[in-house]
């Protein structure tokens, strides 16, 4: 008993999570050449202020499980920077959630949101609650308990959470219901809501479709290549992966892989999206091993063989690779394999899925590499479109949102690649994204004063 409590405490107070430092170090390295270009950055301590969150909110979430036992989880909201607009960013429900992980995600979100050109600041939140194996009613009870604490910190013009790992429209629906009951406010306080009450068409598809729109533009401009007929690999099997696969297939690409936390699927005939959805969407959430049972010729590699097979997706030869599962999933060895197999582009759908040494190698070898803060910004952009529709009590049709998303992803690509050129690091989309995003946030911070 005591041992279990101590182990849980150790996990939630873990000081060994380096993801925040990893994210900050990448951004500050990109900014080195430009920080001396404007004396105001130093004079007003812009960098020091930018790496310090405005607020780290932590709270206790108490709920009752199906056996009538009291369960306790940690809840968090990190409001990092609201210079450009209300705090905006997703909620993650996953046992690995700590303040460190959420700080990295909230920090990245500032830059991503800046790149969209829309008026949104950076935030992230979530809980170490594990949705796996929970009943529908337990998920609902947990979401209600989480909102009983969170509601006091958010607002349509203050902080607008959305989904991330473990949080989709079902969870957002329960969170919104409780917010409304407590506050009596029916406003755009959350995005990613079900369409039935205030959600935007295309928000579920937005991140994955946006990733592919970005990739299409980058490949066209840089290599005069299209995705049609090309072999692609995707990791993950959640919201981002499924919609990345869907759009790739619509554009004529052949998607060979997907993965979940237990293992990976390689299907030489192309992933059967209908089956993937059947296994992963809705309440079922079955293991991908089931895919191999149902589709002959497909190969399932369980992660039980770790580390040998933990990165099975990146062993498969492809034209372009799309990491869409989670942070730090694509290692130096994976990058070597991709290069050896002739991959020309790595387009991040997840947040920070590629390790720093892997990025460096890919860039050195001339592979087009797009950081998540640029290529996965379509999700948060359509979240902002949802806020816009809620504020004006409008409903936009699917085609309108889709067109606006496509246009916005092209704009982000243009902004990132032009900035890279302007600063003498052509095709370095990491530096281009960090510099372009920083300049917009820094300008706002300077204009707003201390």
Footprint of ligand 2IT on this chain (CB under 6 A)? 88-90, 112, 162, 164, 191, 351, 379-380, 383
CB of 45 to ligand NDP, least distance (A): 29
Report the residue closest to ligand 2IT, judged by CB: 90
Among 26, 138, 164, 402, binds ligand NDP (CB under 6 A): 164
Helix, strand, coil tally for the chain in percent (to 5): 50, 15, 35
How far apart are the C-alpha atoms of 375 and 347, rounded to whole Å?
Answer: 7
Among 191, 376, 419, 428, binds ligand NDP (CB under 6 A): 376
How far apart are the C-alpha atoms of 272 and 415, rounded to whole Å?
Answer: 35
Could you say whether residue 97 binds ligand NDP (CB under 6 A)?
A: no
Residue number with CB closer to ligand 2IT (120 or 355): 120
Residue number with CB closer to ligand NDP (61 or 324): 324
Residue number with CB closer to ligand NDP (260 or 406): 260
How many helices and strands, by DSSP H and E, does the chain display? 17, 13
How far apart are the C-alpha atoms of 262 and 302, rounded to whole Å?
Answer: 6
Q: Distances from the Cα of 182 to the Cαs of 139, 158, 186, in angstroms?
A: 19, 17, 11
Quote the tokens at residue 143: 């979401």
Question: Of 88, 103, 112, 124, which is the active-site residue?
Answer: 124
Per-residue contact flags (x/-) with ligand NDP for residues 172 to 211, judged by CB under 6 A: -----------------------------------x----
Residue number with CB closer to ligand NDP (258 or 320): 258
Burial 70-85 (b: 16+ CB within 10 A, else e): ebebbbbbbbbbbbbb
The three state secondary structure string of 321-374 is EECCCCCCCECHHHHHHHHHCCCCEEECCCCCCECHHHHHHHHHCCCEEECHHH
Residue number with CB closer to ligand NDP (41 or 142): 142
Point out which span in 8-16, 152-160, 344-352, 426-434 binds ligand NDP (CB under 6 A).
344-352
How far apart are the C-alpha atoms of 301 and 291, rounded to whole Å?
Answer: 11
CB of 123 to ligand 2IT, least distance (A): 8
Residue with tokens 């506050």, as numbered in its chain = 183
Could you say whether residue 122 binds ligand NDP (CB under 6 A)?
A: no
Residue with tokens 């997907």, as numbered in its chain = 258
Binders of ligand NDP in range 229-268 (CB under 6 A): 236-241, 259-262
| Contacted entry of ligand NDP, ligand 2IT, none for residue 217, CB cut-off 5 to 8 Å set by kind | none
DSSP H or E run through 123: strand 122-127
52-171-199-347 Cα dihedral, nearest 10 degrees: 60
| Contacted entry of ligand 2IT, ligand NDP, none for residue 350, CB cut-off 5 to 8 Å set by kind | ligand NDP
Could you say whether residue 108 binds ligand NDP (CB under 6 A)?
A: no
| Contacted entry of ligand NDP, ligand 2IT, none for residue 338, CB cut-off 5 to 8 Å set by kind | none
DSSP H or E run through 138: helix 136-150
Could you say whether residue 125 binds ligand NDP (CB under 6 A)?
A: no
Residue with tokens 């205030």, as numbered in its chain = 198
Residue number with CB closer to ligand NDP (310 or 345): 310
The answer to whether 404 is a known catalytic residue is no
Could you say whether residue 219 binds ligand NDP (CB under 6 A)?
A: no
* Coil, strand or helix at 131: coil
Residues 6+ apart with CB under 8 A from 186: 180, 198
Could you say whether residue 326 binds ligand NDP (CB under 6 A)?
A: yes
Could you say whether residue 325 binds ligand NDP (CB under 6 A)?
A: yes
| Contacted entry of ligand NDP, ligand 2IT, none for residue 165, CB cut-off 5 to 8 Å set by kind | ligand NDP
Residue number with CB closer to ligand NDP (160 or 237): 237
Quote the tokens at residue 39: 């004396």
Binders of ligand NDP in range 50-79 (CB under 6 A): none
Point out which span in 25-33, 212-220, 225-233, 349-357 binds ligand NDP (CB under 6 A).
349-357
Q: Distances from the Cα of 14 to the Cαs of 23, 52, 100, 319, in angstroms?
A: 18, 19, 8, 39
Could you say whether residue 379 binds ligand NDP (CB under 6 A)?
A: yes
Q: Give the catalytic positions in this structure.
A: 124
Task: Summarize as ranges the residues that interact with ligand NDP (CB under 6 A).
Answer: 163-166, 207, 236-241, 259-262, 324-326, 329, 349-351, 376, 379
């Amino acid at each position: 008993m005591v041992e279990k409590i101590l182990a849980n405490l150790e996990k939630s107070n873990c000081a060994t999570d380096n993801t925040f430092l990893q994210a900050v170090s990448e951004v500050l390295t990109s900014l080195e050449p430009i920080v001396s270009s404007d004396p105001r950055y130093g004079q007003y301590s812009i960098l020091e202020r930018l790496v310090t969150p405005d607020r780290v909110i932590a709270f206790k979430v108490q709920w009752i499980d199906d056996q009538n036992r009291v369960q306790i989880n940690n809840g968090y909201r990190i409001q990092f920077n609201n210079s450009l607009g209300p705090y905006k960013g997703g909620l993650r429900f996953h046992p690995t959630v700590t303040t460190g992980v959420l700080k990295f995600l909230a920090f990245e979100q500032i830059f991503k949101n800046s790149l969209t050109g829309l008026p949104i600041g950076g935030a992230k939140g979530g809980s170490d609650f594990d949705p796996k194996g929970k009943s529908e009613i337990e998920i609902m009870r947990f979401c209600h308990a989480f909102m009983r604490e969170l509601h006091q910190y958010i607002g349509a013009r203050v902080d607008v959470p959305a989904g991330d790992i473990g949080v989709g429209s079902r969870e957002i629906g329960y969170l919104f219901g409780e917010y409304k009951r407590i506050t009596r406010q029916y406003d755009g306080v959350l995005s990613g809501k079900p369409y039935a009450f205030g959600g935007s068409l295309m928000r579920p598809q937005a991140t994955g479709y946006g990733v592919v729109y970005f990739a299409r533009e980058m490949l066209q401009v840089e290599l005069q290549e299209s995705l049609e007929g090309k072999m692609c690999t995707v990791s993950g099997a959640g919201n981002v992966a499924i919609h990345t696969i869907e759009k790739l297939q619509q554009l004529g690409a052949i998607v060979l892989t997907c993965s979940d936390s237990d293992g990976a699927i390689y299907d030489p005939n192309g992933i059967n999206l209908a089956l993937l959805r059947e296994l992963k969407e809705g309440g079922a959430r079955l293991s991908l091993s089931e895919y191999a049972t149902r589709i002959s010729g497909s190969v399932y590699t369980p992660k039980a063989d770790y580390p040998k097979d933990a990165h099975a997706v990146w062993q498969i030869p492809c034209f372009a690779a799309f990491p869409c599962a989670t942070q730090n999933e694509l290692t130096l060895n994976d990058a070597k394999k991709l290069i050896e197999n002739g991959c020309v582009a790595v387009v991040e759908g997840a947040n920070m899925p590629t390790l720093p040494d892997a990025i460096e190698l890919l860039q050195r070898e001339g592979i087009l590499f797009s950081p998540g803060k640029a290529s996965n910004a379509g999700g948060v952009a359509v979240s902002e479109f949802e806020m816009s529709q809620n504020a004006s009590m409008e409903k936009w049709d699917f085609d309108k949102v889709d067109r606006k998303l496509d246009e916005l992803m092209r704009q982000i690509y243009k902004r990132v690649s032009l900035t890279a050129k302007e600063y003498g690091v052509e095709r370095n989309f990491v530096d281009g994204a960090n510099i372009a995003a920083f300049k917009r946030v820094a300008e706002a911070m300077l204009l707003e004063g201390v």
